């Protein structure tokens, strides 16, 4: 492995969701965030004071592991980070859905303007095209503690897009990757945990997305929607954060046939660092049976990388799409992981598993760089 840390592109983070839904200041050190979120015991003198009450927390929060200082520490210099809000009735497991598309659109706008505020502060920098991508790579060859993290803007569930006529506006704001569906049945079709296809209004939206050359993310589709999109969509495709159904059961993961369909179109699959997607004893379709704490190490992610590489005969189609702090915290992340800076240690695990330096660099950043250079050319 090289003496200097390797540039990492994380193909899926939910930074705006964490900042706004969980009220985290992601410009702060992760240990500061943890100290703030550690509940204080009731004070003996004023047990009923608002200051001492432990407010109910979102079931999706967990212990924070991702912040911009730790990303710089781990040389996670470029990210695909989401605008993420869907139309779905809130449930005990998923409390962040909205009941109307108008509300999802409003939340999506707030996520966009959070990223714009971070860019104004110099914390991040939007990446819209190949020259800006190349400039970010040069900047991260010799970064410092203030180097902005590059942002390729993505959208998890297209519910914030009100219709085909709004696609060009989103493109102008920097949107470069869109997944139509998420959990449940949303505005445009069926996603994770459902059976069904695309709704008729989805096809004019797809046409508009194709004219804007936005990449299509096949994560969180129902099985039928996946194959409908493969048949209809002619542009670039990827799966930003998916693991292998052959190793862990559940509809949320990709079957071998799905993996081959993506890679035959030169797409890239980002692997997820979540216990529910790594433990073969768990089924993503029955989350009530999951443990409260993780059991698997980061090497379990390599098992999924191995499977895809063996299936395709090369390492050209795998990447990191960690989804860290995306609906879970450190409790359900790999047992040997503490903060996102530990992704550098994950590269060491790849090295010990026999991956060449060239292949480690491809997984860390090279495959996603190739994917977006081709998409934007």
Confidence of residue 4 (pLDDT cuts 50, 70, 90): confident
**Two structure tokens written together for 3:** 């003496």
What letter would DSSP give residue 98?
B
What percent of the chain has pLDDT above 70?
Answer: 92
**Two structure tokens written together for 292:** 């409260």
- Smallest Cα–Cα separation from 326: which of 118, 61, 28? 61
290 φ/ψ angles, rounded to the nearest 5 degrees: -75, 150
Residue-wise pLDDT tens digits, 254-277: 999 999 999 999 999 999 999 999
Residue-wise pLDDT tens digits, 315-367: 999 999 999 999 899 999 999 999 999 999 999 999 999 999 999 999 999 99
**Two structure tokens written together for 110:** 């707030």
Residue-wise pLDDT tens digits, 124-136: 999 999 999 999 9
Whole-number Cα distances in Å, 305 to 242, 261, 267, 271, 350: 11, 16, 14, 7, 9
Q: Could you give the CA distance from residue 204 to residue 98 in angstroms, rounded to a whole number?
A: 23
Mean pLDDT, rounded, of the chain: 92
Q: Could you give the CA distance from residue 186 to residue 346 in angstroms, rounded to a whole number?
A: 35
Q: Report the range of poorest mean pLDDT among 175-179, 205-209, 291-295.
A: 291-295
Residue-wise pLDDT tens digits, 5-27: 999 999 999 999 999 999 999 99
Q: Could you give the CA distance from residue 64 to residue 17 in angstroms, rounded to a whole number?
A: 13
- Look at residue 204 and tell me whether its pLDDT is greater than 90: yes
Q: Could you give the CA distance from residue 245 to residue 223 in angstroms, rounded to a whole number?
A: 12
DSSP string, 113-146: HHHHHHHHTTSEEE--SHHHHHHHHHHTTS--TT
- Look at residue 310 and tell me whether its pLDDT is greater than 70: yes
The label of the residue with tokens 């989103």 reads: 170
Q: Is 75 exposed, middle or buried (0-12, 13-18, 19+ CB in 10 A)?
A: buried
Residues 6+ apart with CB under 8 A from 154: 12, 80, 81, 82, 83, 175, 176, 177, 178, 179, 217, 240
Domains of the chain, each with CATH number or no CATH: 8-376 (3.20.20.140)
What letter would DSSP give residue 74?
T
**Two structure tokens written together for 90:** 């809130």
Q: Could you give the CA distance from residue 314 to residue 133 in angstroms, rounded to a whole number?
A: 25
Going through the chain in order, the beta strands assigned E by DSSP cover 8-13, 76-84, 124-126, 149-156, 175-179, 215-217, 237-238, 269-271, 318-320
Confidence of residue 47 (pLDDT cuts 50, 70, 90): very low
Q: Could you give the CA distance from residue 193 to residue 185 in angstroms, rounded to a whole number?
A: 8
Q: Could you give the CA distance from residue 18 to residue 275 in angstroms, rounded to a whole number?
A: 19
Provide the b/e sequence for 222-259 (b: ≥16 CB within 10 Å): bbebbbbbbeebeebbbbbbbbbbbbbebbbbbeeebb
Average pLDDT, stretch 171-194?
96
């Amino acid at each position: 492995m090289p003496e200097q840390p390797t540039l990492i592109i994380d193909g899926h983070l939910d930074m705006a969701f964490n900042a706004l839904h969980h009220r985290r200041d992601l410009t702060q050190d992760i240990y500061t965030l943890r100290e703030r979120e550690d509940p204080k015991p009731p004070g003996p003198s004023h047990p009923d004071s608002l200051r001492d009450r432990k407010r109910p927390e979102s079931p999706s929060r967990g212990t924070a592991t991702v912040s911009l200082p730790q990303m710089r520490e781990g040389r996670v210099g470029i990210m695909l980070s989401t605008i993420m809000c869907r139309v779905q009735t809130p449930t005990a497991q998923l409390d962040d859905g909205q009941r109307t598309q108008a509300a999802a659109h409003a939340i999506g706008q707030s996520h966009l303007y959070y990223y714009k505020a971070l860019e104004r502060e110099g914390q991040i920098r939007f990446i819209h095209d190949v020259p800006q991508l190349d400039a970010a790579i040069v900047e991260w060859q010799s970064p410092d503690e203030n180097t902005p993290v590059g942002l390729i803007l993505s959208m998890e569930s297209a519910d914030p897009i009100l219709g085909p006529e709004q696609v060009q506006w989103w493109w102008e704001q920097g949107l470069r990757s869109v997944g139509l569906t998420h959990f449940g049945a949303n505005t445009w079709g069926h996603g994770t945990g459902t059976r069904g296809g695309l709704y008729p209004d989805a096809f004019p939206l797809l046409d508009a997305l194709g004219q804007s050359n936005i990449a299509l993310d096949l994560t969180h589709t129902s099985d039928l929607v996946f194959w409908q999109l493969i048949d209809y969509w002619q542009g670039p495709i990827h799966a930003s954060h998916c693991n292998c159904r052959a190793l862990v059961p559940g509809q949320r993961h990709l079957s071998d046939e799905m993996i081959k369909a993506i890679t035959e179109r030169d797409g890239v699959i980002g692997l997820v660092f979540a216990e529910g997607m790594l433990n073969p004893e768990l089924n993503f379709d029955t989350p009530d049976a999951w443990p409260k704490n993780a059991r698997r190490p980061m090497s379990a992610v390599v098992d999924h990388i191995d499977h895809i590489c063996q299936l395709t005969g090369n390492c050209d189609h795998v990447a990191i799409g960690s989804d860290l702090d995306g609906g879970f915290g450190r409790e359900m992340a790999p047992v040997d992981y503490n903060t996102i800076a530990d992704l550098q240690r994950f590269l060491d695990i790849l090295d010990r598993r026999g991956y060449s330096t060239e292949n480690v660099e491809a997984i860390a950043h090279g495959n996603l760089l190739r994917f977006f250079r081709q998409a934007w050319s």
